[in-house]
Amino acid sequence: MKIVECVPNFSEGRDIDKIERIMSVVKTNAFIRLINYESDADYNRTVVTLVGEPDKMVDLILDLTKICLQEIDLNHHSGEHARMGAIDVIPFIPISDISMAECVALSEQCARRINEKYDIPVFLYAEAAKKPERELLPNIRKGEFEGMKTKIQESEWKPDFGKPEIHPTFGTVAVGARDFLIAYNIDLATEDENPAKQIAKAIRKSSGGFQYIQAGPVYLENRKHTQVTMNILNYKKNPIYRIFETVRMEAKQYQVEVTGAEIVGLIPKDALIRSLKYYYKSQKIAFPENISFEMIVEDARKYLLFRDFNETKIIDYFL
Amino acid sequence: MKIVECVPNFSEGRDIDKIERIMSVVKTNAFIRLINYESDADYNRTVVTLVGEPDKMVDLILDLTKICLQEIDLNHHSGEHARMGAIDVIPFIPISDISMAECVALSEQCARRINEKYDIPVFLYAEAAKKPERELLPNIRKGEFEGMKTKIQESEWKPDFGKPEIHPTFGTVAVGARDFLIAYNIDLATEDENPAKQIAKAIRKSSGGFQYIQAGPVYLENRKHTQVTMNILNYKKNPIYRIFETVRMEAKQYQVEVTGAEIVGLIPKDALIRSLKYYYKSQKIAFPENISFEMIVEDARKYLLFRDFNETKIIDYFL
């Protein structure tokens, strides 16, 4: 069964009643699983995490667009987070049995339907971008709701769907496809920040390391040790085991032990399976065919030293 | 003492007498060490490897330009290798106690002197490039000697030094600075090419690996095993030990042993020291202050499994 994740961000994070009226559309949907939603009052923005079948997902996004159109008027919106639309951004993320190309096609279909039904101009971004300068959302969004009124009329900022004119209350929205981002931290049993700093430099893209790794050092005041804190932007090309084993190898020269690791937020089952297979293969053990969530959690603790980890951190567990 | 490497390529690879007349300028120079020179008849081109002090190097390059101007007429030159000048390219490479910025400055000084003394137009390339489209030599050289006659008159291909007109017999030359490139191969004790292929994919830039690694699989008919064959484009950011240990880690899942490694051509002492330090530090052994070439070779065999390796593979040995 094809499963896609979608993480729409809408521009209301303060008015609880309004947020709940918007979320009721999601909560009453029988087909799509709501993983969680988080509102930030300073940002005045809510981030919703959804998983389910591709077609049902697009249907729900259309419903969500309708309710946001009714509830939100960007002419009366302010917050610390940049925004250009009542729904600001809609990324589709492959989770299971679905390719990036399919997610790009899905985002195009979603964009077309939003435009046709509600006359909202739509930009395609990330993997769905039609021009390199539209790959990064901040490039598109620069100027925000207020600036988009004129920016959208410039020939190079013509929307991918719709006429070059923002919706008077909704604004405009970016729809696209991207890979799942894993927030991953590795514990180093030292209070000295230097090893974490040197190791982060060794593995991250910006200083010559792996292509899809962002990394930095951090000291955890409460836990009294340091971490290499990371984003894995593509877990297929930079699997967790490779990062974990490389960090372990680098740590040796500082006589520092790697004592644990953690996932912040969620992780796809596929990302865990890919990495656990490395350890099974290295020991010449056949990988269990229908491995249970319980077993995955146990193995992740054993081989990847995951702490504070259980089934509810695995997206697929909710399906 | 500041030491720079320079690898001028001149456009004669067939006429032995002519090659020797040109090389006599290098061979009789008291200050610069000739590491080797290799002529290729098909390419009709000779590659010269020189090391020495920066100022003396530029002086020698000026002498080399003079003799090539006398001996080579590109109007009567053909060969399989693309070329645009009697000397086609002059890269400066930091070896010891010299920064990339200094090598860029050196290449600019060399370019200016070539132009002033012989009225040859010069392009700056690689790290010395003034525009992104001049970073890669093939971009500049496209059209070759014949096409440069008109290409150099286009506003975007104006030379960095000199008037927009090629020298009638010499043509034009690219001068620049780049890092030392290490050609490095790791032996896998298997005839199956798949592990080498998968491991190359894991570590090389083009498929998500380390930023400065080019890699591919190869089967060695004579030795009856495969290799991961690599170029390390920046050994400071992607040190040998990191690549070696990552390959070892990846090989485990295929139950394949890493049995050796080799350097093709030369390697700077600095590149070896940086990697050997990892193994000393990991064992908490102090690194010997004035380590001998003999000891470096012994350690490289022991820790990095180098085979067919001796002092004459280390550039600094010749100084």
- Residue B199: which CATH number? 3.30.70.670
Rounded CA separation A234/A254 (Å): 28
Is the per-residue pLDDT at A161 higher than 90? Answer: yes
| Residue A198 forms contact with B (CB below 8 Å) | no
Same-domain status, B138 and B197: no
How confident is the model over A74-121, as pLDDT tens digits?
999 999 899 999 999 999 999 989 999 999 999 999 999 999 999 999
| pTM of the full structure | 0.82
Same-domain status, B212 and B310: yes
Same-domain status, B144 and B170: yes
Q: What is the pLDDT along chain B (319 residues), one digit of tens a residue?
A: 899 999 999 999 999 999 999 999 999 999 999 998 999 999 999 999 999 999 999 999 999 999 999 999 999 999 989 999 999 999 999 998 999 999 999 999 999 999 999 999 999 999 999 999 999 999 999 999 999 999 999 999 999 999 999 999 999 999 999 999 999 999 999 999 999 999 999 999 999 999 999 999 999 989 999 999 999 999 999 999 999 999 999 999 999 999 999 998 899 999 999 999 999 999 999 999 999 999 999 999 999 999 999 999 999 898 7
Same-domain status, B25 and B140: yes
Find, in chain A, the residue whose alpha carbon is nearest to that of B251: A282
Same-domain status, A211 and A134: no
> How many CB atoms sit inside 10 A of residue B191's CB?
11
CB contact under 8 A, A242 and B237: no
CB contact under 8 A, A242 and B250: yes
Rounded CA separation A278/A235 (Å): 14
Interface with A, mutate which of B198, B247, B252 (most A CBs under 10 A): B252
Same-domain status, B160 and B288: no
Same-domain status, A223 and A125: no
Q: Which of B137, B159, B177 is the last residue of a domain?
A: B177
* Tokens coding A214: 């962002």
How confident is the model over A162-208, as pLDDT tens digits?
999 999 999 999 999 999 999 999 999 999 999 999 999 999 999 99
What's the structural domain count of chain B? 2
Model confidence band, residue A239 (pLDDT cutoffs 50, 70, 90): very high
**For this structure, is A81 an active site residue?**
yes
Is the per-residue pLDDT at A265 higher than 90? Answer: no
Find, in chain A, the residue whose alpha carbon is nearest to that of B206: A211
DSSP class of A267: B
A225: three-class secondary structure by DSSP: strand
DSSP class of A91: E
Same-domain status, B169 and B276: no
Residues from chain B that touch A255, judged by Cβ atoms under 8 A, are: 282, 284
Q: Which of A177, A199, A215 is the last residue of a domain?
A: A177
CB A319 within 8 A of CB A270: no
Same-domain status, B161 and B202: no
pLDDT value of residue A235: 95
Same-domain status, A37 and A152: yes
pLDDT value of residue B244: 98
The minimum CA-CA distance between A281 and chain B, rounded to whole Å, is 5
Model confidence band, residue A318 (pLDDT cutoffs 50, 70, 90): confident
Interface with B, mutate which of A100, A207, A233, A245 (most B CBs under 10 A): A245
List B residues 225-254 in contact with A (Cβ-Cβ < 8 A). Answer: 234, 237-238, 242, 245-246, 249-250, 252-254
The minimum CA-CA distance between B36 and chain A, rounded to whole Å, is 31
A60 Cβ contact partners less than 8 Å away, ≥ 6 residues apart: A25, A26, A29, A31, A32, A50, A52
Q: Which of A121, A155, A177 is the last residue of a domain?
A: A177
List B residues 103-132 in contact with A (Cβ-Cβ < 8 A). Answer: none
CB contact under 8 A, B249 and A249: yes
B258 Cβ contact partners less than 8 Å away, ≥ 6 residues apart: B186, B187, B188, B189, B244, B247, B248, B251, B305
Rounded CA separation B129/A35 (Å): 51
Model confidence band, residue A319 (pLDDT cutoffs 50, 70, 90): confident
CB contact under 8 A, A208 and B211: yes
Report chain A's mean pLDDT, rounded to a whole number.
96
| Residue B286 forms contact with A (CB below 8 Å) | no
Residues from chain A that touch B250, judged by Cβ atoms under 8 A, are: 242
- Can you give the residue range of the structural domain that contains B255? 182-318
CB B216 within 8 A of CB B201: no
| Residue B202 forms contact with A (CB below 8 Å) | yes
Residues from chain A that touch B251, judged by Cβ atoms under 8 A, are: none
Rounded CA separation B64/B23 (Å): 8
Rounded to the nearest 10°, the torsion over CA A113, A118, A123, A126 is -50
The minimum CA-CA distance between B242 and chain A, rounded to whole Å, is 8
Residues from chain A that touch B245, judged by Cβ atoms under 8 A, are: 246, 249
Of A212, A278, A282, the CB nearest to B208: A212
pLDDT value of residue B65: 98
Query: Given A77, A81, A167, A225, which residue is catalytic?
Result: A81
CB contact under 8 A, B208 and A245: no
| Residue A27 forms contact with B (CB below 8 Å) | no
Residues from chain A that touch B246, judged by Cβ atoms under 8 A, are: 242, 245-246, 249
The minimum CA-CA distance between B241 and chain A, rounded to whole Å, is 10
Q: What is the ipTM of this complex?
A: 0.81
Same-domain status, B172 and B24: yes
CB contact under 8 A, B252 and A207: no
CB A254 within 8 A of CB A194: yes
Q: Which of A266, A264, A311, A310 is nearest to A95 (CA)?
A: A266
CB contact under 8 A, B208 and A278: no
| CATH classification of the domain holding B54 | 3.30.990.10
The minimum CA-CA distance between B301 and chain A, rounded to whole Å, is 19
Residues from chain B that touch A281, judged by Cβ atoms under 8 A, are: 252-254
| Residue A194 forms contact with B (CB below 8 Å) | no
| Residue A281 forms contact with B (CB below 8 Å) | yes
Distances from the Cα of B319 to the Cα of A304, B33, B47, B51, B311, angstroms: 48, 7, 20, 8, 12
Same-domain status, B143 and B219: no
Q: What is the CA angle B178-B229-B267, rounded to 5?
A: 45
Average pLDDT over residues A290-316: 96
Residues from chain A that touch B208, judged by Cβ atoms under 8 A, are: 210-212, 234, 237-238
Rounded CA separation B181/B202 (Å): 20
Of A210, A254, A278, the CB nearest to B209: A210
The minimum CA-CA distance between B93 and chain A, rounded to whole Å, is 19
Find, in chain B, the residue whose alpha carbon is nearest to that of A257: B282
Of A205, A237, A246, the CB nearest to B246: A246
